[in-house]
Amino acid sequence: MIKIFKKIKKWVYAQLAKITPGNTAIKGASIALLGFSGLLFLVYAIWTTKQFKDPWFLLFITGFALVFILAAYLILWVFKKLSKIPKKYQRAFLIAVPLFLTPLAFEGFYLIAAIIVTSLLGAAIAVFLKGTFKQLTRTKKVVTILGLCIGLGGFIGAIVGYTPVGFDTKSITNAAFQTKDHIQNIDAPSPSEKGPYTVKTLTYGSGKDLHRPEFAEDVTVKTDSVNGVPFLDNWKGFAGWYREKFLGFDAKSLPINGYVWYPEGDGPFPLVLTVHGNHMMQDFSDIGYGYLGELLASRGIIFASVDENFLNASWSDITGGLDEENDARGWILLEHLRTWHTWNNDNNSQFYKKVDTTKLALIGHSRGGEAVAHAALLNKMPSYYDDATIPLDYNYDIQSIVAIAPVDGQYEPGDARTALKDINYFVLHGAQDADVSSFAGSKQYERITFSDSTDYFKSGIYIQGANHGQFNTSWGDNDVGAFTKLLNNKPLLSGEDQRKIAEVYISAFLETTLKDNTKYKPLFTDARKGKDWLPETIYLNQYEDASFEALASFDEDFNVHTATANTTTISSENVSVWREQEIKLKWGEKGSRAAYVGWHYKDLEEGDTVPDSIKARYTIHVADTLKTIDSTSVFTFSMAESTESSDPKSKGKWVNTDNKEEDTDEAEEDDESSEEDASNEEGENEDEEKEDEEDKPKEPIDFSIQMTDASGEEIHFPLSHFSALQRELKVRIWKSQFITNDDQSENVFQTFSYPLEDLLKFNASFDINTIQKIAFVFDKTFEGVIVVDDIGFRNQ
């Protein structure tokens, strides 16, 4: 066999030799390439210089050419040096990199560290074991010992870093918690408490599943398969072949499988379908929402966890697996609803007339969190939006959707993001999410709109310490599919606490939107109203309902002086930052614009009062009488902190350099003498105070809000009358971020709400129907930048 291989190799080399150009040809090609490219570049440089009428451009472009020439020589030099690396190490390096990548979660820092540490340690150990250390020169001995020390230090450091769960991040003050005592908990039992119904379970499915008896020989109710070909791309090749081999079916016969938790009784009961996200196809995770099934069924809701594991990723997808399949995930949910409607109308079914088909909700996690939005959109479509020859026409009464740490934009109908109208929407996301690290659900939140006169609402909750996986009991604390120990899991909430939050909020949301139990609705405007039910952490929640009327949402144009309401205008005084722009997240943009407003009082110290002459204000001027509001209305807006500089004009082109020459020799001498007089002790104290100040968490931002009516009457109240503004939550997902000192954060909004009947206590003479000005007066925190959006009024 070896002889045959050598003969083939010899023949290939002989054929290549026949067509390999000689030295003369290579020399000619090189001269032609350099000569023609140089001539063309010279002609371009001269012509462009004449066009620009700027002789300096010729100098610039000549320098540009020299940089290219030097770069070419540098690259050749690097390749020459690399070629001198021994073949054994080159081979080991090229093999080790891909082998390291997967277990190290494709994290560049871990990869580089692993290569350096193992290389140094292996080289030093080999020298000592081989007994050649004594023959080395003094310099090489020093290098060997140094390499051994670095290698051992790195190895020990890796063990020390790998062993603990993680490390504490810098503490941050919980702004809402400071004023929680004056917020009364909702006077009702916790929505996470089990209800009065006895819970029963069953499964439904194809009866043919190769790996799960609960959907095969042990299935309770058999279902028909569905043809998913129109909704699935790239079910082909090796990946498609293996998928069919493992599953036992193809895209034309997708199963309708589900676990069901249901209340014993006559009903009819609301129905909720839940779908998992992308996980390994072979690791079935639909059972991981059983805790929600037990709870909701006990409270009178039928709960089905849908199996869509056959759409998940597999190791076999290395050659290319399913692509942008989230519409298929949503479509399968609608096929499940079709099945439930059939059972509800079949007098031979155990669910005959037990489903309230006017009260339907969908819950999705991760990719499933995006899929439920696609399902709600497809539900209203007469035909498939990517191929109108495929009829749909479901039109089920889906009242509500819940997205748990959803992705956004994995699939785009018609190359656009899914926008929904007149549906209740709730999204949860954790700040410590290592999978969907950006609050992607806030993008879908922006794309939910309401008609006038409807009673729908949308809400979002962002949870410090929550990760991606612990909302599912089978996913746990490993968000990345690699070694969990690479993640910084020290700041995580416990799995029990994280699921308790999901239970409270999801149960309250479904009680409100499916069972008209409005006593839980205030929870979505303020997490503190459920403080007796919820684990203690930082919650940032947004809320908007169909009654909201915007004075300023900042999406109407690019003029910072105009607002959403036709005759409303905006002005500012003494601010250091003022612009309107698209809101950026860690990944992508939110899909909404907001106002960025900053202020900076340089010479004020703690305890000082801000003089009126320098006080910064941001004012909404209301020209029309606000006839739609009354004493039961609520003034509301959403706000986040921006960590950008509040004094951007203190550097760069804004710095005044005209008086530099005033620094005379005498002044310099005075400075030197004063420095010599300063004691070392004072210097050390200053350094210690600076370090203490850096470690101390910043106090939340506070300022005053001032309303003025047509007769000049005013109401003044602090932002903290609801809550001070939470400082931006900075997290470290990976342990390596403690070495690189890298924090991750983004603008996450909090909705502030001020009932007008409450504000009238500040001035009973104030006429809320003739509000003419609403001003943010920055008089409490001496510097900061806020991002404000959706200023307006809603119903109580």
Per residue in 158-188, pLDDT tens? 887 778 888 888 889 999 888 777 889 999 9
When mean pLDDT is compared over 2-6, 365-369, 559-563, the highest value belongs to 365-369
Determine whether 72 is exposed, middle or buried from the number of CB atoms within 10 Å of its CB (0-12, 13-18, 19+).
exposed
User: Whole-angstrom Cα distance, residue 30 to residue 337?
Assistant: 69
Contact between residue 404 and residue 366 where contact means Cβ atoms under 8 Å apart: yes
**Residue 622 in tokens:** 């209301």
Per residue in 218-239, pLDDT tens? 999 999 999 999 999 899 999 9
Pairs from 309-312 (Cβ < 8 Å, separation ≥ 24):
309/276, 309/279, 309/281, 309/283, 309/284, 309/285, 310/243, 310/247, 310/249, 310/254, 310/255, 310/281, 311/232, 311/281, 312/278, 312/279, 312/280, 312/281
Kindly calculate the radius of gyration of the chain based on its CA atoms and give it in whole angstroms.
33
The Cα-based distances of 433 to 165, 232, 406, 437, 487 in angstroms read: 15, 28, 11, 5, 10
Confidence band, pLDDT 50/70/90 cuts, at residue 660: very low
The Cα-based distances of 441 to 473, 507, 656 in angstroms read: 21, 19, 45
The Cα-based distances of 697 to 174, 348, 702, 727, 729 in angstroms read: 10, 64, 15, 9, 11
Confidence band, pLDDT 50/70/90 cuts, at residue 538: very high
Confidence band, pLDDT 50/70/90 cuts, at residue 664: very low
The mean pLDDT value of the chain amounts to: 89
State residue 567's pLDDT score.
78
Indicate if the pLDDT at residue 662 is higher than 60.
Answer: no
List the one residue out of 204, 230, 232 whose CA is nearest residue 218.
204
User: Whole-angstrom Cα distance, residue 52 to residue 58?
Assistant: 10
CA 542 from centre of chain: 16
State residue 689's pLDDT score.
53
Average pLDDT over residues 358-387: 96
State residue 667's pLDDT score.
43
Contact between residue 577 and residue 598 where contact means Cβ atoms under 8 Å apart: yes
Per residue in 193-224, pLDDT tens? 999 999 999 999 999 999 999 999 999 999 99
Identity of residue 160: V
State residue 457's pLDDT score.
97
Per residue in 305-316, pLDDT tens? 999 999 999 988
Average pLDDT over residues 742-761: 94
List the one residue out of 525, 578, 503, 425 whose CA is nearest residue 754.
525
Confidence band, pLDDT 50/70/90 cuts, at residue 674: very low
Confidence band, pLDDT 50/70/90 cuts, at residue 648: very high
Confidence band, pLDDT 50/70/90 cuts, at residue 695: low
Q: Which of 450-454, 690-694, 788-792 has the lowest mean pLDDT?
A: 690-694
Q: Which helix (H) or strand (E) holds 259?
A: strand 258-263
Confidence band, pLDDT 50/70/90 cuts, at residue 694: low
User: Percent of the chain at pLDDT above 70?
Assistant: 94
State residue 686's pLDDT score.
53
Q: Which of 24-38, 275-289, 343-357, 358-372 has the lowest mean pLDDT?
A: 24-38
User: Whole-angstrom Cα distance, residue 672 to residue 487?
Assistant: 50
Q: Which of 435-439, 626-630, 670-674 has the lowest mean pLDDT?
A: 670-674
Average pLDDT over residues 622-646: 88
| Between 10 and 536, residue with greater pLDDT | 536
Per residue in 50-99, pLDDT tens? 887 888 888 888 888 899 889 989 998 988 887 888 888 888 888 888 88
User: Whole-angstrom Cα distance, residue 260 to residue 304?
Assistant: 4
Sheet of 221-222, strands arranged across:
221-222, 199-205, 258-263, 302-306, 269-275, 355-365, 398-404, 424-430, 457-463, 539-545
In 662-741, where do the E strands start and end?
Answer: 704-709, 714-718
Residue for token pair 């059983």: 290
Average pLDDT over residues 394-419: 95
